[in-house]
Structure 1
Amino acid sequence: MGVGWTQVALAGIWGGLVAVERKAFLQAMFSRPLVAATLMGGLLDDVQAGLFVGLLLELFHLGGANLGASLPDHDTLSATSVSAAAAGMSNAWWLSQGGVGGLPSSEPFFWSTAVLLFIGLGRVGRWVDRRLERYAARLAKKALLLAEAGELTRAMRQNLWGVWPHFVVFGAITSACALVGWGLGPWVARLPEPVLRGLDWAYPAMAAVCAAIAARGSHAKRASFYALLGAGAVCLAVLLVVLLAVLKERP
């Protein structure tokens, strides 16, 4: 089975574009996890994976805010990387089965695996963002000096050079995650049935926890209580459903 290099490239381009949109261009909310992940899924022929990954990560990062010198986790990189990996797994598994039946079959165990593997890239993105800001700050100083000297064209070029590293670095990370997804897809789908079932139910459990985090971050009255209650109820429901399924399969 070959790797879908076109999809890997598309993942990198979209990952780089929304990283730039988040910091320097347009800022029309395309970089929000729900939007960025859903559109990533659309580009990679797996809208379902993008949508469900985006929903989870939107809740997870909902309380993050860029205030002054405080930088939150890079929610955009987290969303694009996880959705690209999940879509890559679906596509790889679909092709390994002969590529029949229309579009790839998107399964919750792919989403859960991608989340567990790559959600931590939000902190990696924050670290990269800090380093790139130092580089951009140096270019901004040069651009200001050039503008004061009347060299406006060169000043504009300096500002544009500050944008390219974001596109290249974050795009490369997203492409790498898509490539890992393509490599892992067939292996994940062949895991033992109990493991796959556990990964399937891990998704709603993680979504409940993320919803609780979002509620906790709202600072509403009794937010912690309602967050704990909601997360506990969903996790308990998942546990009961799994136990009932196990009991039914017993002779």
Structure 2
Amino acid sequence: MIGAIALGGLGGVDRAAFGQTMFAHPVVCGTLAGWVAGDPLNGLRLGIVFGMFASRRAPIGGAGPVLDWTSAAICVPFALGASAAGWQWGLGLVVGLVVALLGGRSILGLRGLAASGEVVALSAASDGDPAPLERFHLRMIGLHILRGAATVLLATLALSSLAFDIRWSLPEQSAAAMVWGLAPLSAAVVLVHAHLRHAGWRWVGLGVVASGLLILLAGAAA
């Protein structure tokens, strides 16, 4: 758990305050998290999936939606461990998509706080003293570290608890059918968030249909 918190804090500050060394990229941090947790291959696979979601086109001078793929890629390997079954990694994918959405909201909250705090710091530094701006910068770095660490910690605890409950309350085949059936629906929600102007809610409709078909097929096979 200490490793998850440390990597979460590092990822949080890397994507916001430092020179963006690519550690926060889901492929990099997912592989490293998997290596620390004992399963680097699945960490890499998960990082590639999240990296594909994170890669999108944006107009010149524009920016895409804010999604926290860093925390999503870090929390899953630590929550599941090296002995996780295949359906548990599917559960990690579903939960990771939710973490990316909620983590993005927390990033936007910090950006709003930074915008208002910068005005106050600039006003206080109007006499030529840079100390207020330096203190403001250090506070924001600390908040980004805290945000990343807290997001990964809460997501890791939630995913590990959910995986444990499903494992002991459902047969393995039923759990696999439910998890892999819900994956397309979760992915569709993320795609709508990322491409709302172009795709609309038809992505969610497609995800609902795909999820229903997968659940029915998996249930019939079981």
Correspondent of 2:53 among 50, 60, 67: 60
**Aligned equivalents of 2:98 and 2:128: distance in 1?**
45
Number of residue pairs the alignment of both structures matches: 199
Structure 2 equivalent of residue 194 of structure 1 = 173
Residue 125 to residue 65, structure 1, CA distance change in 2 (3 Å): farther
- Unaligned 5+ runs, structure 2: 196-209
**Percent identity between the aligned chains?**
24
Structure 2 equivalent of residue 227 of structure 1 = none
Amino acid of the residue matched to residue 123 of structure 1? L
Structure 2 equivalent of residue 81 of structure 1 = 72
Structure 2 equivalent of residue 112 of structure 1 = 90
Structure 2 equivalent of residue 15 of structure 1 = 8
* 1:212-251 equivalence runs, <5 A: 246=221
**Aligned equivalents of 2:141 and 2:175: distance in 1?**
41
Structure 2 equivalent of residue 179 of structure 1 = 157
Structure 2 equivalent of residue 150 of structure 1 = 128
Residue 143 to residue 62, structure 1, CA distance change in 2 (3 Å): same
Structure 2 equivalent of residue 29 of structure 1 = 22
Q: CA deviation at 1:179?
A: 1.3
Amino acid of the residue matched to residue 76 of structure 2? A
Structure 2 equivalent of residue 138 of structure 1 = 116
Amino acid of the residue matched to residue 79 of structure 2? G
Residue 65 to residue 23, structure 1, CA distance change in 2 (3 Å): farther
* 1:37-48 equivalence runs, <5 A: 37-48=30-41
Amino acid of the residue matched to residue 81 of structure 1? A
C-alpha contact (below 8 Å) 1:16/1:170 kept by paired residues: yes
Q: CA deviation at 1:155?
A: 2.2
Amino acid of the residue matched to residue 105 of structure 2? W
Let me know the Cα RMSD of the aligned residues: 3.7
User: Normalising by the residue count of structure 2, what TM-score does the alignment of the two structures yield?
Assistant: 0.70
Residue 118 to residue 164, structure 1, CA distance change in 2 (3 Å): same
C-alpha contact (below 8 Å) 2:68/2:100 kept by paired residues: yes
Q: CA deviation at 1:54?
A: 0.7
**Aligned equivalents of 1:174 and 1:165: distance in 2?**
14
**Aligned equivalents of 2:96 and 2:27: distance in 1?**
16
Moved more, 125-134 or 79-88: 79-88
What secondary structure does 1:29 align onto?
coil
**Aligned equivalents of 1:68 and 1:185: distance in 2?**
41
Moved more, 158-167 or 42-51: 42-51
C-alpha contact (below 8 Å) 2:122/2:132 kept by paired residues: no
Structure 1 equivalent of residue 203 of structure 2 = none
Q: CA deviation at 1:19?
A: 1.7
> Is 1:123 paired with 2:116?
no
Structure 1 equivalent of residue 200 of structure 2 = none
C-alpha contact (below 8 Å) 1:34/1:55 kept by paired residues: yes
* 1:158-173 equivalence runs, <5 A: 158-173=136-151
